[in-house]
Amino acid sequence: MPVHGGRTWVLAAVLCVALAACGGGAEPGSETSVFRIRPGDCFNDPPAERQLDQVDVVRCDQPHDNEVFAAIEHPAAPEEPFPGRDALVGYAEQGCPEPFADYVGATYDQSRFSLFPIVPSADTWAKGDRQIICALYDHRAGKLTGSVRGSGQ
């Protein structure tokens, strides 16, 4: 299943190694480590010149570019080498649609929203990061306003 719109970001190495190590979700109105965003968090795209290690988290009732709907674990063992961005995106394409349907209330194939996986970089992978953030966006309408949780869209 292809990623609608083709948007992916590779995580930059940051202080936190895994989402679980950083605690709770993000605080709206703040620049937040990508390792802290959780399902239900809404955020805007960073400027093109900025590496994706921080995102601007906003309240979901405010205009925003993306909404996190799941975080999945890649099953690779700690000693396994970095499989490459394309392989991780492929894994996300297989693993994110099920929680997408649970979150949105429509299957990915029937939805107007596109998958936006945020995958580990080679640096974070080497430190044990196997978490893939499953986010969505609307490539046709631009900014979202309001959460899409349970929208059936």
Residue 71 gets the label, from left (phi > 0), alpha (psi -120 to 50) or beta, of: beta
The average pLDDT across 44-73 equals 89
| Residue 134 clears pLDDT 90, i.e. is over it | yes
What does the DSSP assignment read for 19-74?
Answer: GGGG-S-PPTTEEEETTT--TT-EEEPPPTTS-TTEEEEE-TTS-BSEEEEEEEE-
| Residue 151 clears pLDDT 60, i.e. is over it | yes
Q: What is the DSSP letter of 4?
A: G
Residue 39: other Cβ atoms inside 10 A: 17
User: Is residue 29 very low, low, confident or very high in pLDDT (cuts 50, 70, 90)?
Assistant: low
